[in-house]
Amino acid sequence: MNKKIKIVTIGGGSSYTPELMEGFIKRKDHLPIKEIWLVDIEAGKEKLEIVGNLAKRMVKAAGLDWEIHLTLDRREALKDADFVTTQFRVGLLEARIKDERIPLSHGILGQETNGAGGMLKAFRTIPVILDIVEDMKELCPDAWLVNFTNPSGMVTEAVMRYGNWNKVVGLCNVPILCRKIAAGALKENEEDLFFRFGGLNHFHWHRVWDKAGKEKTREVLEAAYTSVENMKNALKSFTSANSGVQNIPNISFLPEQILNLGIIPCMYHRYYYITDDMLQEELEAFAKGETRAELVKRTEAELFELYKDPNLSIKPPQLEKRGGAFYSDAACELINSIYNDKRTHMVVSTRNNGAISDLPDDVVVEVSSIITSGGPVPISWGSFEPSSRGLLQLMKDMELTTIKAAVTGDYGTAQQAFTINPLVPSGKIAKKVLDELLIAHKEHLPQFKETIVRLEAKYS
């Protein structure tokens, strides 16, 4: 590519935007950016202006001539875009609070990415992303869609499967953090280690080799995953990394449960490997009004206060408390790699294409990939042992069933997705939770309208 780049960020009023801006500025010598469009909706207008003005100050302070546009007109922004990043949350943080608190109020995990809450988030988000894709087909048919909207894997899968849009990559910061943990645990430079990641978003495993070609997977498990203390030590050298695990409770796996797995689980596997313990922790947070959603909401309010400061022209360090560190590394580096055909190894959500033999070729997986100008090319993972294979297959099918429910608005399919989700103990209470969530989010769930009307009548 030789032309100057136009980048569009949907959900541009997000508190993450300064990090994204920092990431672009850091790569200014490699990315000939002409314009960045921050797009948001009416309800996010105030935040868009606060964060957008900070973005302008950051660009100016960096001595760059990039145009920063703030707009509520998505179609105007998308016109001739080269890269579209998505970081929006339908219903804002209020919706996340419902996603987390309603299930917990019935003793069930909320988990806003892969749990009951995450499924509802998928129900709200997928129709919107499919709309965006329709706009892109018309307005910027050659653009790449870089998605970090959660549930990132499901959203990416929906874009490919139902939107028939292949130029999409899903991103997450968890694999980055996993790499840092391994490097910390082995006291090695991250670049000296070779990693292979395989699985799904927030549900992947990895293996590690050192510079001499020796596999160090077991050593990493022992050194970092057998206690909370060990994990903290492994992360110690990365000041900002600490925030990475802020999103979920910090409880250790059971040592013998993982030591001979042959692969390293990600932090979100805690939800599946020590489900009960995670639930207890979250129930306590719920009781104190300190679910992650609530904490994030407070953090965000503080952040936006900071962002308003007309003298601020850098990403404020307090942003790291928000969680989600390294997103800028992921998103900006991905764009950089595509634009410059860098062939970097990154872990992204992309079409499986055989990389994981235990899943169909045409599903989205999160897997180590080579990032070329033609997009991500996955590195073969091979197959899993039974101790992880079936759980992975179940999770993929939970995703597919959830996406189908999101697209069709079929209530039975939604119930089935809830039934097979391992974070939701099925039965009457789960149905109650689903019903309550559907009603609570009704303004963002047009596809479920009929069901919701019926449910409202039933419960009223």
Q: Yes or no: say if 111 and 117 are a contact pair by the CB < 8 Å rule.
A: yes
Confirm whether residue 233 is marked as ligand binding.
no
Query: Cβ of residue 143: shortest distance to its own copies, in angstroms?
Result: 12
Residue 250, both tokens: 């910090």
Residue 230, both tokens: 């060990």
Confirm whether residue 89 is marked as ligand binding.
no
Query: Closest CB to its own copies among 72 and 394?
Result: 394
- CA within 13 Å, CB half, 336: 19
Query: Cβ of residue 205: shortest distance to its own copies, in angstroms?
Result: 13
Query: Closest CB to its own copies among 427 and 446?
Result: 427
Q: Yes or no: say if 129 and 86 are a contact pair by the CB < 8 Å rule.
A: yes
Amino acid sitting at position 54 = L
Residue 89, both tokens: 């949350």
Q: 225 catalytic, yes or no?
A: no
Residue 129, both tokens: 């992303």
Task: State yes or no: residue 387 binds its own copies (CB under 8 A).
Answer: yes
Closest CA to 291 of 133, 97, 146, 136: 97
Interface positions, 54-113, toward its own copies (CB under 8 A): none
Q: Yes or no: say if 440 and 91 are a contact pair by the CB < 8 Å rule.
A: no
Only one of the segments 227-235, 283-291, 296-304, 385-393 lies at the binding site for its own copies (rule: CB under 8 A); that segment is 385-393
Query: Closest CB to its own copies among 38 and 126?
Result: 126
Query: Closest CB to its own copies among 25 and 278?
Result: 278
Q: What's the gap between Cα 9 and its chain centre?
A: 15
Place of tokens 């917990």: 104
Evaluate the omega torsion of the peptide bond into residue 151 and state whether it is cis, within 30 degrees of 0. Answer: yes
Q: Where are the beta strands (DSSP E) in 187-332?
A: 194-200, 203-209, 264-265
Site for its own copies (CB under 8 A): which residue of 74, 89, 315, 404?
A: 404
- CA within 13 Å, CB half, 239: 2
Site for its own copies (CB under 8 A): which residue of 77, 278, 440, 455?
A: 278
Query: Closest CB to its own copies among 88 and 197?
Result: 197
DSSP string, 325-351: TTHHHHHHHHHHHHHHT--EEEEEEEE
Only one of the segments 9-17, 173-181, 191-199, 227-235 lies at the binding site for its own copies (rule: CB under 8 A); that segment is 191-199
Task: State yes or no: residue 273 binds its own copies (CB under 8 A).
Answer: yes
Residue 457, both tokens: 């009548």
Only one of the segments 8-16, 224-232, 307-315, 348-356 lies at the binding site for its own copies (rule: CB under 8 A); that segment is 348-356
Only one of the segments 34-42, 203-211, 224-232, 282-290 lies at the binding site for its own copies (rule: CB under 8 A); that segment is 203-211
Query: Cβ of residue 400: shortest distance to its own copies, in angstroms?
Result: 4
In three-state secondary structure terms, 226 is coil
Task: State yes or no: residue 457 binds its own copies (CB under 8 A).
Answer: no
| Distant-in-sequence, close-in-space partners of 298: CB < 8 Å, separation ≥ 6 | none
Rg (CA), the chain: 21
Query: Cβ of residue 363: shortest distance to its own copies, in angstroms?
Result: 9
Query: Closest CB to its own copies among 241 and 335?
Result: 335
Provide the 10 A C-beta neighbour count for residue 421: 24
Interface positions, 252-271, toward its own copies (CB under 8 A): 254, 256-257, 259-261
Using alpha carbons, list the distances in angstroms from residue 199 to 26, 241, 358, 359. Answer: 30, 22, 10, 10
Q: Which helix (H) or strand (E) holds 62?
A: none
Instruction: Given the residues 268, 271, 327, 339, select the one marked as catalytic.
Output: 268
Task: State yes or no: residue 277 binds its own copies (CB under 8 A).
Answer: yes
In three-state secondary structure terms, 249 is coil
Q: How many residues bind its own copies (CB under 8 A)?
A: 80
Task: State yes or no: residue 276 binds its own copies (CB under 8 A).
Answer: yes
Site for its own copies (CB under 8 A): which residue of 89, 179, 196, 441?
A: 196
Interface positions, 215-234, toward its own copies (CB under 8 A): 215
Confirm whether residue 204 is marked as ligand binding.
no
Provide the 10 A C-beta neighbour count for residue 345: 16
Amino acid sitting at position 280 = Q
Contact letters for its own copies, residues 289-308 (x by CB under 8 A): --------------------
Task: State yes or no: residue 355 binds its own copies (CB under 8 A).
Answer: yes
Site for its own copies (CB under 8 A): which residue of 98, 206, 396, 444?
A: 396
Query: Cβ of residue 123: shortest distance to its own copies, in angstroms?
Result: 16
Query: Closest CB to its own copies among 255 and 317?
Result: 255
Query: Cβ of residue 290: shortest distance to its own copies, in angstroms?
Result: 21
Confirm whether residue 150 is marked as ligand binding.
yes
Q: List, by residue number, the catalytic residues.
A: 268
Binding-site residues for substrate sit at 96, 150
Known binding residues for Mn(2+) are 172, 202
